[in-house]
Structure formats: structure tokens, C-alpha cells
Structure 1
């Protein structure tokens, strides 16, 4: 089933805190950080997840990165880990985890994805954590379930699903979701959100101002933040794509990725039924 992304389609599904809400009830999101010189992407995703409403957001950092990240964040917490098994243990208290933004193009990232897949956390897999599975995409798909989300741009999509784009973006996104057995967000001028059940949503408020480094990391964080709060993965991805593009459209020329998270409260307020 195909539909355009508009607020009426998912507005009623957005997670809002009740009068007795506390931070842990609002969802716990983890974001895996990369090496010390590449921590910005994970920090963007973490801030976006926090602005999207997740009650507790933690950057899971290799030891060398923790000292870099700690002075650069405030409400976002920092938890060092050393090795995939330590990441598995650190993740136990989280509802969703984002992995991939500048995570590192090495086997340690592959091991981290495998470790996270053994947990109950719902995964948002982006960027480096997608590209690393080029030529062995089935290894990644075998780790996933229907609640996980892949967020490739067309280059990353081609690495995971070679040749599928030849049949057109919509057909390719649908086939990719069925093949991977999870939600696939195919980013682009008209971002597509496809589920393994055959549903597909087409974004219709895309913005050219998103064509700048780091905006995809913000999108991954928004998706993770909504999922952590209990929103179903397909709905969370659908809502996040619209909210993300609306934030860019409202800002206009000069947008950089750092501007996006702090535009989320106004957009969420416009959607709030109260």
C-alpha cells in the first residue's frame, strides 16, 4: 500500500508523555560513537534523539572518544565501552540504539552491530554500519528483525542491494524491505519509507537545504528517539522523515546539520494535540 507522508497519517501515533511520565518511561536511546576525531556525527544523532522526546540518551563511546565527547555534551550522557562484548552489556538498559554515523569503517563496527543484534534493542543502522556490509549484505540481514531500520542514501543502498535501483526507487525500496526483513528508509529528493509488510510511504516535503553534511545523522537520531518512546518503527521512520524535512524547509538557506535538532520543539509543538 502506497501513501504520501502527511501528518494526518501518523500524527495520532506520536508518543506524548502523560502526567505521570518520568525520564525512563519516555524511552532510553543509545548512540554508538566513532573514533576520537569523528565524534560529531554521533553527537548530532544523540541531540536529535533527545529533542525528539527520548527521556534518556546515552553516547556509547570507545574509551579514546569518551574524553573528547564528555566536555561537548550536557543532557546527553556518556558511557565508555571497550569491545563488542562490553557494548552488549552497556546496551542492556536501552530501548533503541543508533549505530553507524561516523562509527568507523572497520571490523570493530561490524562486531558492534552483531553484538547489538543480540539484544532486545531496536536498531537504527546508518552510514558506516551499512557500507561495511557491501558484498556480504545477507550477513547483515540475518541479524535484523522487522522492528529494525536501515537508513541508506542511494550510494549505500546500491552497496547493500546491488542492481535493485534499476527497477525504480519505489519498487527497489519495497523489495529491499522484504529482502532485509525490516524497515528501509531510502533517502533522496523524495525519501521512501518501506516496510517488510509491503507498505510504503513517499515523502512530499523534501528540502534541498538538507544537502549538507550531517543531516542524515540527525534523521537517524530522530527515528531512534521516536522508536525509543514506543512508536512502531515504520511509523517512527515515516514521522521522522517529515519532521526532519519540515525543520529544514522552515530554516531555508544557510542550514547546517547543527541547526536541525533545535528546530524540532517548534514542529513537535505544532503537532501536539494538547
Structure 2
């Protein structure tokens, strides 16, 4: 099975997927729901939500527990806010079928509320990015992959990958594309393994590799919150109708391109703000 190498130019099919647009109504551009953690733990989800909005999702909503509503309200403007204390509240929110993409994990926590949210999200069969704490919750289950479906995207870093796929961890050190290909086949969904060399694979074996080296080396991307922004980019492109593979592979490229443009001194908050220039540069002359 061949691996597609991503370099300095975004392939035309992915560029078209990023730039495609609907009508002038926001719901024609998708609606994403980002689940937050409790008080003092909402920053990661807010970063994801900001990236989701910047990449073009028509409406982005943070769903926070009551304890964190004030914290979120003081930080959010264009991002909407809804109360969500547990699985029953999420189930009620998802009665609104316009929510077509979910993001779970950044700052979510590992408590009973978080586990219940994950159960409801998976049962809804919505497109879903599972990152950070959501991956840890999966790894603690007897069968981590029960409930996953082909509209899910898993976005582990090396440690999370090793917890989910312990028998593939050594392989990931020597042949990352092969390890991620095996992981995606097992999980039945797209898997992204983060790092300076980032690999993405579909369950059918198609694989992409992006090496952030040469002119695209961005060691300053190793900063707190950068992964949360990546999760938000993927969720935003899913909301806009991208396939899990399109959304994930394009987001990896966009994430690095934004970091290249910002340069040294980057913090995670800079990445969504760099996106307009990145997107403008992708538009045909």
C-alpha cells in the first residue's frame, strides 16, 4: 500500500475541499459542537472552537457544564455557548440535527460526565474528532474500539497511541505509516498520529505522511494547545462536509502552514488567527 507524501503545496483535491462553499446561510457551512471540561479546564476546548470557526464552520458552539458557563461566557463572542452537564443534556442538544460534527477531548476530563458524553457522542453516529482525554477514556475500556464508526477521527500523540495500540507502539517508532495504517484498520476509522512526522491513515489502507522539515520545519509548534487547534480544524472541515480523511489530511497541512507563517514565538492562540492569510493564498488567482 502506497503512502502519499504531503509537501509544501496542498494537493488540488484537498485545496478544493478546503475552499468549497455553500450558500450564504451559516447552516449551509455546517454546525460544530465542541464539548468543554469543567471550571478551569475550558481553555483547550475554546482553542478548538476558535479554530473550528476560523476554518469556516458556519456555527460553532461550546457545550459546557454549569460550573464553567461564566468562565466560557467571558471568553467567547462569535462562538455560541450551551449548558451541558452530562450525557442527557448532550442527547437533548443533538436533537438539533443541524449539529453535524463534534469535537471531544480537549480539556474534557476523565470523570463520569466525560465518559457519559463520549458514549452519547458515539451513539449519535455524528462525525466526531476524538482527541486528548477522549482517547484516554477509550484506552481504559475493555474494548477501546467498540462504538467507533467510520465518521470518527482519532488524533493521538505518541503516548496516547501507545495506550490505544500497545502492540503497535514499537512499530510506530520505526515505520509510522505502517503502524498508523494498522491502527486505522483495527479502529475502523481515520487515525492521525501526531509529531514532526505526522501520519494519517484510512481503514482501507490509504495513508498520508507529512514531514515538517526543511522550509516547513516548525519546532515552535510544540507548544501547549497546538493539538487542540488541530482537533478544531478537523472538526470544522467535517462540519463543512469534508470526509474524515479530507478533513484530517488538509488540517495537518493547514496547521503546519499557519505555524510557518507565524514563525518562532508562536503560541497556540496565534494559529487560528493565521488561517485567513493561509486560506487567501490557497485561492486561485
Asked if these proteins are the same fold (TM beyond 0.5), I'd say yes
Verify: 1:157 aligned to 2:168, yes or no: no
- Alignment partner of 1:249 out of 260, 271, 278: 260
Correspondence list, 1:179-258, <5 A:
179-205=186-212, 207-258=218-269
* Residue 264 to residue 55, structure 1, CA distance change in 2 (3 Å): same
Shift of 1:269: 1.2
4+ residue stretches of structure 1 with deviation over 4 A?
none
- Alignment partner of 2:119 out of 114, 117, 122: 114
CA–CA distance in structure 1, aligned partners of residues 106 and 136 of structure 2: 11
Shift of 1:92: 3.4
CA–CA distance in structure 1, aligned partners of residues 5 and 169 of structure 2: 20
| Residue ranges of structure 1 left out of the alignment (5+ in a row) | none
Q: State the partner residue of 1:270.
A: 281
CA–CA distance in structure 1, aligned partners of residues 3 and 142 of structure 2: 26
How many pairs align? 272
* Residue 255 to residue 64, structure 1, CA distance change in 2 (3 Å): same
Verify: 1:134 aligned to 2:106, yes or no: no
- Alignment partner of 2:41 out of 38, 42, 57: 38
| Residue ranges of structure 2 left out of the alignment (5+ in a row) | none
CA–CA distance in structure 2, aligned partners of residues 120 and 157 of structure 1: 23
SS of the equivalent of 2:85 reads: coil
Verify: 1:69 aligned to 2:72, yes or no: yes
Question: Residues 104-143 of structure 1, C-alpha deviation per residue, up to 9 Å, x if partnerless?
Answer: 02232121111011214211000011112324262x4111
SS of the equivalent of 2:4 reads: strand
Shift of 1:183: 0.4
C-alpha contact (below 8 Å) 1:15/1:230 kept by paired residues: no
Question: Residues 168-199 of structure 1, C-alpha deviation per residue, up to 9 Å, x if partnerless?
Answer: 32211011101100000100011111111101
Q: State the partner residue of 1:170.
A: 177
Q: TM-score, normalised by structure 2?
A: 0.92
